[in-house]
Amino acid sequence: MTSPEVFAARRARLQQSLTRPSVVVAGFARPRNFRANRYPFRAESHFLYLVGKPLEGAVLVIGPDGAVLYAEPPDPAEALWGGPMPSLEALSRELGIEVRPIDALELPGPVALLPPQDRESACWLEERVNRPVDAGGAELEGADAALADAMIALRLRHDGAAVAELREAARVTALAHAAGMRATRPGVRECVVRAAMEAAIIECGMTTSYGSIVTVHGEVLHNERHDGWLAAGDLLLADVGAETRGGWAGDVTRTWPVSGRMSGSQRALYQVVLEAQIAAISAVRPGASFREVHRTASRVLVHGLCDLGVLVGGEEELFERGAAALFFPHGIGHLLGLDVHDMEDLGDRAGYAPGRARSTAPGERYLRLDRELEPGMCVTIEPGYYRIPFILDDPLALGDLASAIDRSVLDRLSDVRGIRIEDDVLVTESGSEVLTASIPKTIPEMEALIGS
Ligand code: GLY
Ligand code: MN
Ligand code: MN
């Protein structure tokens, strides 16, 4: 567990850049179908970063002169359903911060805030700050924008405690992927593998950091269904990550053969994606542009697809014309931290360096990070190959690249619908460290584990 001193140090660093009181809310659990049946409570990440405990309905008021936590005092009626709650004095001792009852909250004039994700917290805040608060809104101005920038400055480069949490998330994510490979066999449903993977996470007292993707239809990038059957010739794509009790995320994808043995075409395409991933990871170092990391992976992908005969033409020219995006339409990765797409609640403010904006080019419009990398940043590297009908059968999407695809070769590779390989990579002073390196990713490593 991270010690209270770590959170105090983070608050102290934030205070140095604040010029006015700021409000950071924990948020409320969202109702599932009626008020008493709720989704599990997950506190806002900015709150977790500064306080370290998911206290539903609590508010941190932090300004140049200090910080006070406002929280719900114990309520005997609630204890009946939720068990005993700590007194505010006990909370104060545990967290190393002054704690007052939430009803005593009085905001001293204009405050800065970050819009919470849930509507209930946004309404609650609106009443207290006397101005509109847009739940999940990322269009920030004035003091709110300054607060967001101060949080980004803190959270972009992870401190030692954060790195320890990310390592723990990676360790348990590795257990999940090993369990998934072992549970794979023809004739079961995708949900059987998902259950094995999530069980490995739950057994460690953790939860998943996003909705698990476990599917034989990897070409649906964020496929949320788990009811498909696993057939011997399929590849199974599993994008599953653990979230530590402190809220830190793992985010890993592996793609493996249901039968335990890849076909020739699966092997060939898997190797292309793996080479793109290894090249992209090698490009991760301090000072490197993440857009260039993306372009490195795209270049290797085009090279590999030309080698296989899927793409026909000059490699560099095909790359410049955006041919990689026909098969790899998303970005190479994103920031990773307390959020699986870290700080995406602030829109592109965290992911894009000041003055930069998203490109509209097919290969780069989904790039979630366009900054120069710095030690302490953690990013995912997740190239893929997908056979997506919406792109490959759409003359408009193909444009003049239609003639660059050899359909007969593509047809011979039709037992591959989706491959993604994703690791979590920490930028270090001298280069990078793959936090999820222990998870099998070469074909022989995976084949040894599947169904074992
Ligand atoms: N698991 C979602 C992603 O990789 O971005
Ligand atoms: Mn990811
Ligand atoms: Mn992922």
Q: Which of 177, 222, 252, 254 to mutate to test the pocket of ligand 1 (most atoms within 8 A of CB)?
A: 222
339 lines ligand 1 (CB under 6 A): no
Domain boundary among 124, 155, 186: 155
Query: Which of 113-117, 231-235, 280-284, 305-309 shows the lowest per-residue confidence on average (mean pLDDT)?
Result: 113-117
Same domain, 73 and 214: no
Domain that holds residue 310: 160-449
> Residue 263: pLDDT above 80?
yes
210 lines ligand 1 (CB under 6 A): yes
Residue with CA at minimum distance from ligand 1 atom 3: 251
424 lines ligand 1 (CB under 6 A): no
Same domain, 218 and 88: no
Residues of the chain above pLDDT 90, percent:
95
Query: Which of 104-113, 193-202, 291-300, 428-437 shows the lowest per-residue confidence on average (mean pLDDT)?
Result: 104-113
pTM value > 0.85? yes
Contact of 282 with 431, CB cutoff 8 Å: no
> Residue 452: pLDDT above 90?
no
Same domain, 121 and 186: no
CA distance 85 to 75: 8
Domain boundary among 127, 155, 183: 155
Tokens for 441, please give them.
């990713």
- Which atom, in ligand 1's list, is nearest to the CA of 213? 1
> Residue 108: pLDDT above 80?
no
- Please tell me the number of the ligand nearest to residue 222's CA: 1
> Residue 422's beta-bridge partner residues?
253
Same domain, 143 and 186: no
Same domain, 127 and 201: no
Same domain, 37 and 135: yes
> Residue 245: pLDDT above 80?
yes
Please give all residues whose CB falls under 5 A of ion ligand 3, grouped by chain where several chains appear: 239, 251, 253, 422
CATH of the domain at 171: 3.90.230.10
Residue 174 CB neighbours (<10 A) = 20
Same domain, 103 and 202: no
Same domain, 113 and 137: yes
Residue with CA at minimum distance from ligand 1 atom 5: 341
Return the closest-CA partner of residue 12 out of 53, 58, 62, 54: 62
Same domain, 116 and 255: no
342 lines ligand 1 (CB under 6 A): no
- Please tell me the number of the ligand nearest to residue 380's CA: 2
Banded pLDDT at 284 (limits 50, 70, 90): very high
- 251 CA from centroid of ligand 1 (Å): 6
Segment 353-410, tens digit of pLDDT: 999 999 998 889 999 999 999 999 999 999 999 999 999 999 999 999 999 999 999 9
> Residue 257: pLDDT above 90?
yes
CATH of the domain at 92: 3.40.350.10
Domain boundary among 132, 155, 178: 155
- 193 CA from centroid of ligand 1 (Å): 18
Please report the pLDDT score of residue 1 as a whole number.
Answer: 82
- Please tell me the number of the ligand nearest to residue 379's CA: 2
Domain count, the chain: 2
Same domain, 167 and 298: yes
Residue with CA at minimum distance from ligand 1 atom 4: 251
Residue 379 phi, psi dihedral angles, 5° rounding: -130, 160
Banded pLDDT at 178 (limits 50, 70, 90): very high
Same domain, 68 and 88: yes
Banded pLDDT at 451 (limits 50, 70, 90): confident
> Residue 38: pLDDT above 90?
yes
Same domain, 149 and 187: no
Query: Which of 74-83, 204-213, 258-267, 309-318 shows the lowest per-residue confidence on average (mean pLDDT)?
Result: 74-83
> Residue 254's beta-bridge partner residues?
238
Question: What is the average pLDDT value for the chain, to the nearest integer?
Answer: 96
- 253 CA from centroid of ligand 3 (Å): 6
243 lines ligand 1 (CB under 6 A): no
Please report the pLDDT score of residue 32 as a whole number.
Answer: 94
Please report the pLDDT score of residue 149 as a whole number.
Answer: 97
